[in-house]
Structure 1
Amino acid sequence: MCEPRFGAVRDAFARNFDDGREFGASVAVYQRGRAVVDLWGGSATAQEEWRQDTVALLASATKGLVAAAAMLLVDRGQLDLDAPVADYWPQFAAEGKAAIPLRWVLGHRSGVVTIDPPLTLADIEQSTPVIEALAAAKPAWRPGQAHGYHCLTMGWLVGEVIRRVTGLPAGRFFAAEIASPLALDLYVGPPGGRHDRLADLVVPTGQQLLRGRPDPGLGGLNQAICDPASLFHRSTFGSFVLTADPLASVHQAEIPSCGGAGNAAGLARLYAALIGEVDGIRMLRPETADRARTVEASGMDLVLRCQTSYGRGFMLPGGPMWPGTCSPTAFGHAGVTGAFAFADPDNDLAFAYVPNRMAELIEGGHDRARDLIEATHRCAIS
């Protein structure tokens, strides 16, 4: 489905396939609380076409789901962004973390980015070892004095606060309070740890990765990826013992920072409900949505080693991690699998793109997502 006014989005989506840049994908757009684009195409696996109900791994776009859950509790008065995390989770106060407010965790300012010794899949599935490790963790910098992407830890940290307030893990709270009322095909780890509608992930070749190395905006990140002593390396590969199939393991383990799955229709509908009414449901009051997109941190990211900007659990426009043109009031989240979604309050717009070929960002650009976002922006303001 694509309304005529958004025909340029359909054209951009088709070009991604015609040019051989896409394997399988979905893209969706809401404006003024109503779906105006819902497209899918290509292949989910080597044997199956992408269907309307196909879902794909979201990677860090999952953080947007957890952030939405946290902000819903803020909206209900059950969480206070300025309250110390230790007020909800007393054990977290260890190693100088007693004064870290929840908003510093959501804004990637807490410094709690590494876990030593690294967690195993068994640790993650048991949950308790993860929570104990985070409670005992020492911040990598003085909390509040800098910011750096909490690659794995943000979801666990915020998720534990959600669990202590509601009695439910973040994924189950999201399912019950957000996904179910809005009928979203979005999951933070699907029931049973598997999903028979899940698309295969197409990873880049070594040659494709090498093409991304010269990107000047990502020079620091590319160096950090190869440096075991870097905060990026220590907060990802150094904090989790990888298995033979790490991406499948992440999905199965229900990691709230990066283990989600879904499609563009679900993501766009979620973001639309964060800034307006969708079929009679609005998740956040306008003032709470404004708080979600309030700048918490901006500038050089100590982990990603590039310019980033964060609100309360959401990425904000600016820097190489945000492709395309949008309103300065936009907020959303990207994932290394190529998934990207955002809300644009100025234009009452929500956009989502979910492919199963990993982000071109690490191959030296993100043309697929950028082209779709640019087309959406032009259509929305015309």
Structure 2
Amino acid sequence: MEKLSRETKAGALHGTYDTKFKPVVDAIVENFETRDEVGANVAITLEGKPVLDIWGGKKARDGDAWDKDTVSIVFSCTKGATALCAHMLADRGKLDLDAKVADYWPEYAKNGKEETLVSMMLDHSAGMPHVRTPLKDSGYCDYDYMVKLLESEEPFWKPGTRNGYHGVTFAWTVGELVHRASGKRLGQFFADEVAKPLGLDFHIGTPEEVEPRIAAMIFADPDPAAANSKFTQALMNDPSSPAHLFLLNSGGMDFNSRACHAAEIGSANGITNGRGLAAMYQPLANGGGNLVGKDTLARMGRVAMATHEDATLLIPSRFALGFMKSMDNRVLANEPNSSCILGDAAFGHVGMGGSIGFADPEAHMSFGYNMNRMGAGILLNDRGQALVDAAYTALGYRSNASGVWAL
């Protein structure tokens, strides 16, 4: 392993890497030199072993250095952790993904949701991409309040007939199933069954003692190139649309607040870094480890739902049960940063602003990236995709022209 210690425009970079992954180091440096990266951590494992762990920059534009143990909110990367918990329960026979939600959560089965299956909660086809009721202040922080709202809500479409990204509601549609099936709330189940056994610095409901290590997010400026995207147009012009409600019916949520970090929002407020994401996915890139068996792992990585137009994101999307699959929307007009191009076997999740964690069982690689300056767009921006591309190139993958990285 080579050591890295290098100054960039945004600050010093530190870490170690296998020389095979020098292309990733070059991409990291390029992000800091030319793509306005502020602070970040990138980590990769291969065949179960760490092969790259680089961190650096600053915790704020004019702030302290980004340290090895700096963490940040990784937004929807949290969904990967939540989905993993559900699959672990399925693997243990405690949660049947083909059963009705009502078998575990009877109060949910009303107002058109009676036939919803557990799998529909995971693949974003349950028809609950958000709630129509205006949320109270910081409503996301009140777990029981959000559960009750979802129980009484009517679905936006007949469950199972189409999909639309459940951007925030996934925290409770899936999180409450974990609660009902395990007897533990999601955050505690994840801590006990995933984070502690794997030694992860990863929290869903973050203890106060972690707070000083959290880098506040620098929110993205609007991208003029996306002004005419279907998502932006729905967001601005259709108050009843899932797009509008997903982003604007948030109860004034401040994702940089201590209240948000302390809450249990299993779709959006996980606190970790690239190292934690890569380490969580490492067993899943190598047969399942002690988390899940091989059959469960195969199901986790298989496409479960794909569509030409996601009802929320309004772009083509591809999902496994709780995880994103490679999505190539590069040819779409007015839709910048709406792709996430991985290997065909890979599964994981992007977080708002461009963070990502995933496992690729074909390559036996896991990958994690977090940062504090968010990019615009729905999926990956040029910083995260450049790192992913460099990782596959380092492994000898030939091209992503087909929409997935191929050998």
TM-score, normalised by the number of residues in structure 2: 0.86
Q: 1:195 to 1:294 in 2, by over 3 A?
A: same
* More helix, by proportion: 1
SS in 2 for 1:232: helix
Aligned to 2:184: 168
Find 2:173's aligned residue among 146, 157, 161.
157
- Cα displacement string for residues 241-264 of structure 1 (whole angstroms, at most 9, x for unaligned residues): 115x35435434321110111000
Contact map agreement 2:139 2:251 (CA 8 A) in 1: no
Find 2:92's aligned residue among 76, 82, 86.
76
Aligned pairs, how many? 371
CA distance in 1: counterparts of 2:125 and 2:83, whole angstroms: 15
Find 1:241's aligned residue among 240, 248, 251.
251
Find 1:230's aligned residue among 241, 255, 268.
241
CA distance in 1: counterparts of 2:54 and 2:189, whole angstroms: 29
Contact map agreement 2:355 2:380 (CA 8 A) in 1: no
Contact map agreement 2:350 2:380 (CA 8 A) in 1: no
2:138 is equivalent to residue 127 of structure 1:
no
Contact map agreement 1:64 1:314 (CA 8 A) in 2: yes
Deviation at 1:237, TM superposition (A): 1.6
Aligned to 1:366: 381
2:285 is equivalent to residue 275 of structure 1:
yes
CA distance in 1: counterparts of 2:380 and 2:293, whole angstroms: 36
Q: 1:81 to 1:74 in 2, by over 3 A?
A: same
Kindly provide the amino acid, as one letter, of the partner of residue 312 in structure 2.
V
Deviation at 1:366, TM superposition (A): 1.2
CA distance in 2: counterparts of 1:327 and 1:314, whole angstroms: 14
Kindly provide the amino acid, as one letter, of the partner of residue 74 in structure 1.
A
Q: % of aligned pairs identical?
A: 34
Contact map agreement 2:328 2:341 (CA 8 A) in 1: no
Q: Which moved further from structure 2: 246-255 or 178-187?
A: 246-255
Q: 1:106 to 1:126 in 2, by over 3 A?
A: same
Q: 1:365 to 1:101 in 2, by over 3 A?
A: closer
SS in 2 for 1:375: helix
Q: Which runs of 5+ in 1 are unaligned?
A: none
- Cα displacement string for residues 288-320 of structure 1 (whole angstroms, at most 9, x for unaligned residues): 111112222101101110010111100111234
Aligned to 2:400: none
Aligned to 1:99: 115
Find 1:288's aligned residue among 271, 274, 296.
296
SS in 2 for 1:38: strand
Alignment of 1:197-236 (within 5 A): 197-206=213-222, 209-213=223-227, 219-227=229-237, 228-236=239-247
CA distance in 2: counterparts of 1:112 and 1:263, whole angstroms: 29
Aligned to 1:347: 363
Q: Which runs of 5+ in 2 are unaligned?
A: 1-15, 330-336, 398-407
Q: Which has the higher contact order (CA 8 A, sep 6+)?
A: 1
Q: 1:349 to 1:322 in 2, by over 3 A?
A: farther
Contact map agreement 1:323 1:369 (CA 8 A) in 2: no
TM-score, normalised by the number of residues in structure 1: 0.91
Find 2:36's aligned residue among 21, 25, 45.
21
2:305 is equivalent to residue 297 of structure 1:
yes
Contact map agreement 2:89 2:182 (CA 8 A) in 1: no
Kindly provide the amino acid, as one letter, of the partner of residue 340 in structure 1.
I
Contact map agreement 1:193 1:252 (CA 8 A) in 2: no
CA distance in 2: counterparts of 1:242 and 1:56, whole angstroms: 20
